[in-house]
Structure 1
Amino acid sequence: MPLRRRLLALVALVLAFCLIAGGALTYWHGLRKVDLEMSSAIDVGSSAVSDALSTIGPSADALSQVRRLISSFDGDRHLSARLISPDGKVTSASSLQPPSDPPPRWLYWLLSGSPRARLFDMPGELKQFGTIAIAADSHNEVGEVWEDLKLKFAIIGSFCFIVLALIYASLGRALRPLEQLSSALDRVGEGDYTAHVSEDGPEDLKLIYRAFNRMAGQLRDSEQQNQRLNEQLSTVQEEERSEIARDLHDEIGPFLFAADVDAQAIPLLVSRGEADEAVDRSKAIRQSVQHMQVHLRGVLSRLRPALLIDQGLTHAVENLVAFWKARRPRIEFRMDIEDARYPTAIEDTAFRVLQEGTSNAVRHGQPTSIGLAARRTDNGMLRIVVTDDGSGITAKGTRGFGLPGMRERVASLDGRLSIADREEGKGVMLIVELPLPASTGSAARQEPLSESAA
C-alpha cells in the first residue's frame, strides 16, 4: 500500500476511534440528561398535584376542579396526568406536547430508561372520584438529544473530511517522487528541509537541482510558517474559547436562572387562581428567552453590550437592579455607583462583576439585602463591592463557574479579587479593584460613542 494511503488510513482510524469515544460520551450524557429531566419533571408535577389537591375541598364542583387540575397538564413537554376512577377507568387525561423533531425509535429505546409514574390518592370525600396518576414521557427530551446529536456529528463529520482532505493534499506534495537526488531526498524524507544540492553539472541536471532547491526552500518556509500559524491559532482559539465561555455564562446564566424561577412559580400561581400573575411570569420567561436568543446570535460577532456603550455603568446597574427587583421584590438593593465613564474594558468587567455577584447572592445566599458599589479610590483604582446578608460562603460554596470567570476577567486587567464572609455579620463581601488609566475621566468613552452615533 502506498505510504500516503497508509498514513490516511491511520489518521482515519484515529478519527474513527475519537468519533466512537465521542458517541459513547454523548450517549452517557444524554442518558443522564434524560434521567435528570424526567426525575425533575416527576418531582415538580408531584408537588403541583399535592398543592392543588390540598386546596380542593368537598363541594359541588369538586370533580370539576379535579378535572381542571388534570387539564392543567395539557401541552406539557414531559408530564401527562390521568384521573382513574375506582373501577379502573380513565375518566380524564391530559395531552402531551408532541416533539418538534421526533427521535428515531432506536435512540428513544436507548435513552428513555425505565417508566416513571406516581399515583395520588384523593383526600377525604374526594376518594369517590378515584386516583390521579402522573407519568413522565421522555419523547421531547430525547428529541432534544437527537437534535444535539445530529448537529455534533455533522460538525465532527465535516471536520474529519477536511482533515483527511488536507492531509491527502499535503502528503501528495511532500511525497512527490524524486527519482534522482536520492541522498537529498532521504534527508527531506526525514524532515530535514535544509537539504541543498550544488547547482552544477549538465544543464539538464541543473534544472532538476534548481527545482529541488526551490522545493526544499519552500518546504522549509512552509514548515516555519505553519508552525507560527499553529502557535497563533492555538493562542487565538484558547482566548476565544475562554472569552465565549465567560460571555455565555455572564449573559445567559442570569436569564436562565430567572426563567427557571418564573417557570417554577407559574404552576403555584395557576393553582391559586392568580392567572394574571401567571401570564406576567410567562411573558417574563419569553422576554428572557428572547434576550438569550439575541445574545447567542451575536456572540460570534463579538458585539459589546449596547447598554454599557451608550449609557454608562450607572444606567446598566440600575437596569440590573430593576431586573432583579421584578423577580425578587422582597430583597432590598442598595446602590452606590459613581456617575463617571471609564474605558470600555473597565466598564464591561465592572458590570460583569456586579452582575455575577448579584446573581450568586440571589441564587445561593437567600439574602434580604444586597449592596452594590463602584467608586474610584485615591490610589487610582476602581473599587467594586458586592455585599449581601445571606448564608455566607460556607453554606453556598464558591466553586461555580462564575467565580473563575470573574477571576479571569479581573486578572486580564491586572486587577485584584477577594471574596470572604463579612466580619460584621452573616453574608458575603466580594471586592474587586481594577487599575484605572491616568487619563480616565468623563471623556473616556467619547470616541466609541461618536462611532456608535455615526
Structure 2
Amino acid sequence: MNVLLPAPASPPPSFGLWQRRSLRWQVLAAVVAINLCAALVAVIVIIANARRATETEMLSSLAVAERFVQETVERLATEDGVTGSLAQLPLHISGLRHVRIRIEDRAGHALDIAPASGEDEAHEGEVPSWFSRLVTVEPQETVIPVIENGAVVGQVRVAGEASDEIAEVWEDMSDLAVLAAGVNIAILAALYVVLGRLLMPLRTLSAGMHELEAGRFEHRLQPPRVRELALIADRFNALGAALKAARDDNARLNERLVSVQDDERRHIASDLHDELGPCVFGLRANLESIDRLVGRAEPALAQRMGERVATMTDILDRIQGLNRRLLRKIRPMALGHVPLAAVIADLLADFESHSPGRHIRLETEGLAERYGDSVDITIYRCIQEAVTNALRHGDARNIAITLRGARRDGRLDLVIEDDGSGIAAGAPRGFGLIGMEERIGALGGQWRILPASPSGTRIEVTIPAHPYEFGLTAAPERLAAQ
C-alpha cells in the first residue's frame, strides 16, 4: 500500500570521492596504484644497479685500455729503427669500448683521437638525457707518457666512457617496461571482466532490495555461481518468501477484522433500527394520542399538558435525529439495498444541507449497483471522511468526487479533490485517515494524498473490486455475512 504523506526527509549519507566510486573502480585503482609503486621501486633499484655496473665496467675497461696503451707505447718505443711512434699510435689503439683516447704532443695539442665505435654514437641519441644524468658516474682518466729515444714526445689520455653501458641499461629497461606495461594491461583487462562478473550478483541483489522496498515480495534472485554470493541470494529469496507470507497473513487478518467489524456494525445498526425505531414510533403515537386528549381537559390543565407534550415531542425529535445520525455513522441501512451511487448521493446531499455555501459535485462512470459489503462500506467511509476533513479542517468551498467503476482489471478508482487550505506539513494523521488506511489495505488497495492545484487536497484511492450480485457464488464469505 502506497501512502504519500508529508514527512521529514532523511539526509542522504555523505561519502567521499573514493567511497562514491564503484567497487570495481576501487579494486582496479588499487591495483594500478600498487603497480605504479612497484614500478617506481623497480626503477630505483635498476638505476642503483646500473650505476654500480657502469662504474665497475668503466673501471675494468679503463684498466684494460691503460695496459693495452702502455704496452703499445713501450713496444713502439723499443722497436729498432722505429721513429715517429707518436704518429703511429692511432693505428694501434683504436676501437676500444667504454673508453675515449686522446693523443697529445709535447705542447698538449691533440694529434688524433681514436674514433669511437658507431654503436656508441648511435646510443648517444637514443638515451634520454634525464636517464643519462641519473646513471652517469664520476669520470676517470689516466695519462700515459710517450717516450721516444729517451725523451717524452707526447702523452695519451685514456678516459672512461659510460655512454654505451648506459645505452645498454636503457635498452634493457625499456624492453622490461614495455613487457611490464603489456602484462599490467592484460591483468587489468582480466580483472575488469572478472570483477564485472563477480559484482553482477551484487547489482542484482541491490535491484532486488529495491523490489522488496517497493513491496514486491514475490521477487526472487537467480543463485549465482559464486558460492558465497549464492548463499546471500538464497537468504534473500527466503526473506522475500517470509515477507510475502507475513503480508498475506496480515492481509487475511485485516480483511477478516474488517469483515467482523462490518458484521458487528450491521448488527448494531439493525438493533437500533429494529428496536429503537419502533419504540420511538410508539412514543410518538402515544404523544399524539395524549395531545388529542388534552382538548378535553380544563383550560389551565390543558395548557400545562400541551406544554409538556410539546417538550416531549421536541425531545423525541432529537432522539429520532440522533438515531438517524448514529445509523449513518455506524452503517447506512441503505447499503446493500439500494445502488451504491444513490447511497453516496444521499450522503453528499446531507453534507450540503448542513453546510450552506458549499458545493459538492459527484461524477460516476461505469459504476455497478454494488460490489459487496466490504467494498461498498469502504468507498462510503473514504468519501465520508474526506469530505468531512475538507469541510471541517480545510474550509473547502468546492469538492469534486469522481468514482469510476471496475474495469477489466477489476478496480474501483476514487478521486476526491477540494480547494481548501490543504494538509499542513508535518501534521499528524487523525483516526479517520488511519481508519481509511486500514480498510483500504485490508482490501488490497492503494491510496495516496497529494496537494491539489492551485490549493487544496487530492486523495486517490484504488480498490480491487468486481460487481456483486446476490445469489452468485463469487463471494461466498460476503454472502454469508449478509
TM-score range normalised by the length of the shorter chain? 0.3 to 0.5
Alignment TM-score, normalising by the size of structure 2 = 0.37
TM-score normalized by the length of structure 1: 0.40
Q: Which has the higher contact order (CA 8 A, sep 6+)?
A: 2
Q: Which has the larger radius of gyration?
A: 2
